[in-house]
Amino acid sequence: MWRLLHRWARDCGGGVLVETTLLIPLLTTFLLGAVDYGLLSYQWGAATKAVAAGARLAAVSNPVASGLNALSTSVINVGTVNPGDPMPAFTITCSGSTASCTCAGAACAGATISYNATAMNTLVYGRTAGATSCQASATRYYAGMCNFLSGLTPSNVQVVYTQTGLGYVDRPDGPQPTVSVSLLQAPDAAAFKFQFFFLGSLLGLTNKTLGPFTTTVTGEALSSSAQ
């Protein structure tokens, strides 16, 4: 009996099978992990391109903040500035998640600012008139943010208009703010997230919030007629 046990203990005939059994799950995890992180890297680059395209489009489109172009004249009614004076400071934040805009700063006194859903749709869905969903874009001119980052909707986007010294009171085309377009981030419920297709099940990884992604450009005419 002891001789048989000794022979069994020294038998290496199944060693390769044991090693293979141990290594295959590890190799499979690394392979599927590489696929997941490759997709994550792709979406990261796509999100960067999307906000850049959205900011460039926002600079020459009707502002998401309806009433923004009237600020350069409405501040005269407050009585603290005169035509030709430097434009008072303001920061207008428009969130697609809440479909609202807020205005902070001296220029906001007496101003009426509201959320323009059509203007936000232009940034997200492109220049196709009346688009409320992502459209196939024949040329880059008509492309919106969603054409670069699939699944993007207005609820994922935030646009901020900030006065930084350009323009003047009573400017015919309105103030000339800088425009920042961002993907909303946690804890906002509409933050754009990446889903781990394989590692989520294997390792229990939760969806990852993409970002932060923000692109800032100088506003131009802030009118669709400038397109």
Break the chain into its structural domains and give their ranges.
Answer: 30-226
Which helix (H) or strand (E) element contains residue 101?
Answer: strand 100-104
Query: Crossing angle, helix 117-125 and helix 15-58, to 10 degrees?
Result: 130
| Under-70 pLDDT residues of the chain | 1-18, 78-79, 186-189, 201-204, 225-227
121-154 pLDDT tens trace? 999 999 988 888 898 877 888 899 999 998 889 9
pLDDT at 5: 55
pLDDT at 17: 66
pLDDT at 172: 84
Going from the C-alpha of 116 to that of each of 48, 64, 159, the distances in angstroms are: 24, 5, 11
pLDDT at 102: 95
pLDDT at 30: 81
**b/e per residue 22-44 (b: at least 16 CB within 10 A):** eeeeeeeeeebbeebeeebeebb
- Which residues, 6 or more positions from 24, have their beta carbon under 8 angstroms from its beta carbon? none
pLDDT at 66: 94
Displacement of CA 193 from its chain's centroid (Å):
10
Distance, CA of 165 to CA of 95 (rounded, Å): 24
